Amino acid sequence: MLSELKEELRAAALDARIELGKKEEEELQAKVERLTERISHLKKEIDTTAESPLFFPHEIESRMMEDKLEESLSLETALANGPDTGYSGFYVPRIVAEE
DSSP structural state of residue 67: P
What pLDDT sits at residue 1?
59
Q: Of 39 and 88, which is predicted with more confidence?
A: 39
11-55 pLDDT, tens digit each: 999 999 999 999 999 999 999 999 999 999 998 998 888 888 877
Tell me the domain boundaries of the chain. Answer: 2-45
Confidence of residue 2 (pLDDT cuts 50, 70, 90): low
Which SS3 state, helix, strand or coil, does residue 14 take? Answer: helix
What pLDDT sits at residue 36?
92
Sequence letter at residue 35:
L
What pLDDT sits at residue 28?
92
DSSP structural state of residue 61: -
